[in-house]
Amino acid sequence: MKTLKIAVLVSGNGSNLQVLIDKMQAGKLPIDIVAVVSNKADAYALTRAKNANIPAFVIDKNEQGKTYKRAEFERLALDVLKPLGVDLVVLAGFMKILTPLFINGVKDELNAPMINLHPSLLPAYKGLDTHERVLKSGERYHGCSVHLVTAELDAGQILSQAVLEVHPNDTPATLQNKVHALEHQLLPRTIDFIARGVIDVEDVSDVYRFWGN
């Protein structure tokens, strides 16, 4: 089985990154995390990368202290990733919307697929504040999805989902915690399936789903 060279893009805490690091170090996931890229200098995910001796790149502000424009960030990130031979780009808590410049660059320059972890059962509840909206709509089910990244936000081919039942006493905070815990299972499982060829990102015939409670 092929060891997948992975780049993980982050903006914040990085608990999903930590799960990947832990499984990689335990020999439980056939991946090599070759880079962690953050658009925020204060993202705790950077500390997690450094503690694991993974090359960490911050693309946040330019020499004049100005936050990089979207296109500048995307070009710099591609330039960082290009020499690394990345097989898969993973967005794990990456909170910047990407434009076709980066999305096509990953496809054409890195020749790699890109996946995103999203806290809802896509195609429902794209975008932000998913837990609040799920509760307001009185949904019976909620969960998280891993999907291929395309230019349309949260709309690429769905690869996998973890599902939970919403309880009457759930709040946005309890749902967030439960979905986060599910993400920690879904992301490594999905990457494992990609590495093993169970999921073929070029030809997705089925969505892999499991129950989280």
Q: Which residues are annotated as a binding site?
A: 14-16, 70, 95-98, 116
Options 48, 118, 131, 189; binder of ligand GRF; rule CB under 6 A:
118
Please, which residue, 47 or 62, has the CB nearer to ligand GRF?
Answer: 47
Q: Kindly state whether residue 119 participates in binding ligand GRF, applying the rule CB under 6 A.
A: yes
Options 4, 6, 8, 14; binder of ligand GRF; rule CB under 6 A:
14
Please, which residue, 91 or 195, has the CB nearer to ligand GRF?
Answer: 91
d(CA 164, CA 40): 31
Tokens read off for 72: 């500048």
> Locate tokens 């996998």: which residue?
160
Contact assessment for residue 16 and residue 184, using Cβ atoms and an 8 Å cutoff: yes
Q: Kindly state whether residue 156 participates in binding ligand GRF, applying the rule CB under 6 A.
A: no
Number of residues that bind ligand GRF (CB under 6 A): 13
Residue 145 beta carbon to ligand GRF: minimum distance, rounded to whole angstroms: 9
Q: Kindly state whether residue 117 participates in binding ligand GRF, applying the rule CB under 6 A.
A: yes
DSSP, res 95: -
Q: How many CB atoms lie within 10 A of CB 133?
A: 16
φ, ψ at 49 (rounded to 5°):
-65, -45
Q: By CB under 6 A, which span of 6-14, 69-77, 79-87, 163-171 interacts with ligand GRF? A: 6-14
Q: Kindly state whether residue 13 participates in binding ligand GRF, applying the rule CB under 6 A.
A: yes
Q: How many CB atoms lie within 10 A of CB 140?
A: 8
Active site residues: 118
Binding mask 86-105 for ligand GRF (x = CB under 6 A): ------xx------------
Tokens read off for 76: 């710099």
Binding residue positions for (6R)-10-formyltetrahydrofolate: 70, 95-98, 116
Q: Strand 141-148 vs strand 114-118: parallel, antiparallel, or unpaired?
A: antiparallel
Report the site for ligand GRF in 157-196 (rule: CB under 6 A).
180, 183
> Locate tokens 């410049």: which residue?
101
Q: Is 51 exposed, middle or buried (0-12, 13-18, 19+ CB in 10 A)?
A: exposed
Q: How far is CA 51 from CA 48, 100, 135, 165, in A?
A: 5, 33, 37, 36
Q: By CB under 6 A, which span of 21-29, 70-78, 101-109, 112-120 interacts with ligand GRF? A: 112-120
Q: Kindly state whether residue 15 participates in binding ligand GRF, applying the rule CB under 6 A.
A: yes
Q: Kindly state whether residue 154 participates in binding ligand GRF, applying the rule CB under 6 A.
A: no
